[in-house]
Structure 1
């Protein structure tokens, strides 16, 4: 199917592109419904669900692209895909949500999640910059830090669930029970949502790459733009849907969690499969990612929220970045 989409005619590629967006939107919608239901049932804060289940689910396209690239020894695509996706997540996903509704940021997110995201990017730049290569040992280090992150999230989820269960009255629990789906239905929504997101993401990337190559874009530029944006569409759609459903914590957690997941797990797994040489362009893009991450972190510290004006600034900066990588 992938090979067919990659080689089909321009009109057919456009049809596949539209179909891919449909799967993304519907998949993200039911995925958020299922995730929110599970979060409420177990009294787990939406920010934690966003940082773990939703973030990993929406990062499946990045995982697939980077692992396949590693197997085929096209590692530059794996690195540019992840870094480009992370910049898109920070600037477009969070920025677009902020324009829809100001994004309130919890203290835990400011003190734990944002710093861990910046730390992951710094780790990637340092280990990749030493010898201009990410070896198997470096990749194993990424996976260890990812395990620490997930372990911390699980402990917090269990603690929050336990405390929530003690604090809520029987009347409150009964009211919440009416708002959530049954566990089998919630799990079904998760599975169907992930399937829609993965299928939609793959179809969008393949068809968009086909269209881009037909109009003369290079493979490297496709990796930094079409592929990275395409694999980040699940994060964008899921976060926008979450924001529309007033699950802003989940939207923010999804974007930040996906960035951590992309670097520590996706590149960690890809690097274990096949060591990845770094280009100077990769280092520059990672530095840009770090600077932009610090900027958004700064926005979040002001009044503990990201305003609509700041969201607009983020989108404008992303456009400037895209113009830069197209011109260099």
Structure 2
């Protein structure tokens, strides 16, 4: 029954986030907010909604190891599996100029989180993400959103609603869309509760730690929206969306999700997660080397490189399961 509830929780999380994003996007466009800004803010936040729900509920319930494990595991999954599997299905042509700033921000916030968590290498047994750390992370999140909006306006200017969707927007009933958004949020909350409670029960039944469940089962489940979005985008030739989705989601996972979670309850961090933080930083740097090592304007992430990323994730999974 716990496995059924876990699956049901993931379905509610993903479908709830999809319904919420759809309703929010239509309302924003109807109010005249450019769709590119909607995509960079509402949609990016929407794909991180499952992680947000799970981490916040975990923090409230005191299951802090699931909260931190969920974020670290999701970010590792996004880089190695979402990018890797997407490249295997359809090699990615990455425009370096479009993702350079987001890549730098993603790497910096990851290193910053590592520093504030393990601020004393001589005493890594008692570490936590404090409320002050959380406040700083939330401030960084707000600054990043403002940066995205300013960058978008500078690059694209004001954007008109496209003809193919204008009729849908004109005919949209804001009241009904608000109702669907409420339904979507309800699905996210209920799904988050089911995932946390069932995953915790599974951990106890199988002798797994909450940390391992967060790094594996929960992290993979809550990253499904990013996986589906990136694969579909790559198949349609929207390579910028595929890579941008991963970088944006990873940034929001750290600055928004861990920021809000630690504001609710300071998050104790298990000493063994020191290695997982290092792994996350190293694969960020590895991706940076793959993308920016040559001087060409664009980088093609090939199928071979995609397979390498997937194999690295399999090796990481085997390592943390054996470690548990």
Normalising by structure 1, we get a TM-score of 0.77
- 1:130-279 aligned within 5 A: 130-131=119-120, 132-162=127-157, 174=163, 203=194, 207=198, 210-211=201-202, 213-279=204-270
Pick the aligned partner of 1:127 from 74, 96, 116.
116
For residues 182 and 116 of structure 1, what CA distance do their matches in structure 2 show?
39
Q: Spell out, residue by residue over 1:308-327, the C-alpha distance to the aligned partner (whole angstroms, 9 max, x if none).
A: 21111111101111111112
Q: Please say if residues 18 and 46 of structure 2, whose CA atoms lie closer than 8 Å, have aligned partners that are also in contact.
A: no
- Select between 62-71 and 316-325 the one with higher mean Cα deviation: 62-71
- 1:1-328 aligned within 5 A: 12-16=1-5, 19=8, 44-45=35-36, 51-131=40-120, 132-162=127-157, 174=163, 203=194, 207=198, 210-211=201-202, 213-301=204-292, 303-328=298-323
Q: Specify whether residues 119 and 177 from structure 1 end up closer, same or farther in structure 2 by C-alpha distance, changes over 3 A only.
A: same
For residues 74 and 28 of structure 1, what CA distance do their matches in structure 2 show?
23
CA RMSD of aligned residues (A): 3.5
For residues 47 and 59 of structure 2, what CA distance do their matches in structure 1 show?
20
Q: Specify whether residues 173 and 68 from structure 1 end up closer, same or farther in structure 2 by C-alpha distance, changes over 3 A only.
A: closer
Give the SS at the match of 1:304.
strand
For residues 21 and 78 of structure 1, what CA distance do their matches in structure 2 show?
16
State the 1:218 CA deviation. Answer: 2.9
For residues 70 and 199 of structure 1, what CA distance do their matches in structure 2 show?
15
For residues 222 and 309 of structure 2, what CA distance do their matches in structure 1 show?
19
- Structure 2 stretches lacking a partner, 5+ long: 121-126
- Select between 152-161 and 284-293 the one with higher mean Cα deviation: 152-161
- Select between 114-123 and 302-311 the one with higher mean Cα deviation: 302-311
Normalising by structure 2, we get a TM-score of 0.78
- Select between 256-265 and 49-58 the one with higher mean Cα deviation: 49-58
Q: Specify whether residues 18 and 139 from structure 1 end up closer, same or farther in structure 2 by C-alpha distance, changes over 3 A only.
A: closer
Size of the aligned set, in residue pairs, is 309
Richer in helix (by share): 1
Q: Please say if residues 78 and 246 of structure 2, whose CA atoms lie closer than 8 Å, have aligned partners that are also in contact.
A: yes
Q: Please say if residues 51 and 258 of structure 1, whose CA atoms lie closer than 8 Å, have aligned partners that are also in contact.
A: no
- Select between 125-134 and 20-29 the one with higher mean Cα deviation: 20-29
Q: Please say if residues 205 and 226 of structure 1, whose CA atoms lie closer than 8 Å, have aligned partners that are also in contact.
A: no
For residues 236 and 181 of structure 2, what CA distance do their matches in structure 1 show?
17
